[in-house]
Amino acid sequence: MKGTFDAKRCVVMGGAGFIGSHLCERLVAEGAARVVSVDNLVTGNGANLSGLLGRPGFEDVRADVSEPFAVEGPLDYVFNLASPASPVDYHQLPLETLRVGARGTEHGLRLAEAAGAVFLQASTSEVYGDPLVHPQREDYWGNVNPVGPRAVYDEAKRYGEALVSAYRRSRGLSVRIVRIFNTYGPRMRLNDGRVVPAFVTQALAGEDFTVFGDGSQTRSFCFVHDLVEGLVRLALSDVQDPVNLGNPDEMTILQFAEAVRAAAGGGGRIVFRPLPEDDPQQRRPDIGRARALLGWEPRVGLTEGLAETIVWFRKQDGSGRSGAAARRLAAT
């Protein structure tokens, strides 16, 4: 890792979201001179940034990045984290998800190009689809159904990578592409439908765990502070090829339910529900590139990370109803 964020000027598209808000906090803590969150709160929550409001150099801007937007003044980094990220959210917001992945990404790229800033794209393990190669290395091209229900997210993120790469090749923009694997922690929306908030809220309410399919599908869960450390290292590096960031500690969803039961001390039976279409059967990052080029690997184990997540979930009022997607869900 070269340099620091000291005195740097940064834009975080999607800064009011789960990961984006942790990134904004980290950049401010690193001494950035200016951190501008640009978010329309479609799946985010303004309260995620409450600890930063009023801090010198921090700005909380409401804007839809799928429409042209401006941030005046010099910039060093543009981080693009703006996109619905939960399968439930992007099923509810299919066109918005495609738009933000395409137009939103291009608006961010133009902003970075005009300012001479580095552009970091939050991509995803979903570019590997339902992977036929395991664990997933960055040189695997993936197995995505382009017309299935997950395509609005997967293909938007794949297009985003292609667009970012075209700006790098044809315009000389300095870019970073991070393929984020399942990440969890405080500030996930309680009802975003992802398995971590689902099982934790079920455990805390003493409800049954809703396991989709037979629960033999695997995921690998990375704590958000580890992920943000990786984002910081990647941004400060000169690595322009895609880099996986995630925790290689793979488990089945049934094993994960038992881990949540142990950590939260609750939860009832396991009840099985239909597996969503195209749900990937296995997922685990090969983090060899991140280890070699960034000196990065996750430090927080599942027991510790779940404990911190559960403390935060216990403090919430149980509604978790922030964001337009949540309001739509609540209405269905």
Exactly one of 14, 230, 298, 320 binds ligand NAD (CB under 6 A); which one? 14
Q: Is 140 a catalytic residue?
A: no
* Of the candidates 183, 277, 263, 258, the residue with the CA atom closest to the CA atom of residue 215: 258
Exactly one of 210, 240, 255, 316 binds ligand UDP (CB under 6 A); which one? 210
| Residue 20 engages ligand NAD in binding (rule: CB under 6 A) | yes
* Of the candidates 76, 66, 53, the residue with the CA atom closest to the CA atom of residue 14: 66
Exactly one of 211, 234, 306, 326 binds ligand UDP (CB under 6 A); which one? 211
**Per-residue b or e along 148-168, where b marks 16 or more CB atoms closer than 10 Å to that residue's CB:** ebbbbbbbbbbebbebbbebb
Q: Whole-angstrom Cα distance, residue 138 to residue 250?
A: 18
Cβ nearer to ligand UDP, comparing 16 with 198: 198
Exactly one of 207, 279, 297, 308 binds ligand UDP (CB under 6 A); which one? 279
Residue 79 falls in which region: left (phi positive, over 0), alpha (psi -120 to 50) or beta: beta
Tell me how crowded residue 316 is: count the other CB atoms within 10 A of its CB: 15
Cβ nearer to ligand NAD, comparing 263 with 326: 326
Let me know how long the chain is: 332
Q: Pattern of binders to ligand UDP over 153-192, x per CB under 6 A?
A: -----------------------------x----------
Instruction: Point out the catalytic residue in the list 128, 153, 167, 184.
Output: 153
Q: Whole-angstrom Cα distance, residue 318 to residue 323?
A: 15
Helices H / strands E in the chain, number of each: 11, 13
Give the nearest distance from C-beta 268 to ligand NAD in angstroms: 26
Which among 82-90, 235-243, 252-260, 308-316 is the span making contact with ligand NAD, rule CB under 6 A? 82-90
* Of the candidates 90, 101, 138, the residue with the CA atom closest to the CA atom of residue 245: 138
Identify the H or E element spanning 123.
strand 118-124
Q: Pattern of binders to ligand NAD over 32-51, x per CB under 6 A?
A: -------xxxxxx-------
| Residue 24 engages ligand NAD in binding (rule: CB under 6 A) | no
Q: Pattern of binders to ligand UDP over 59-98, x per CB under 6 A?
A: ---------------------------xx-----------
Residues labelled catalytic: 153
Contact positions toward ligand NAD, by CB under 6 A?
14, 16-20, 39-44, 64-66, 81-85, 100, 104, 122, 124, 180, 182-183
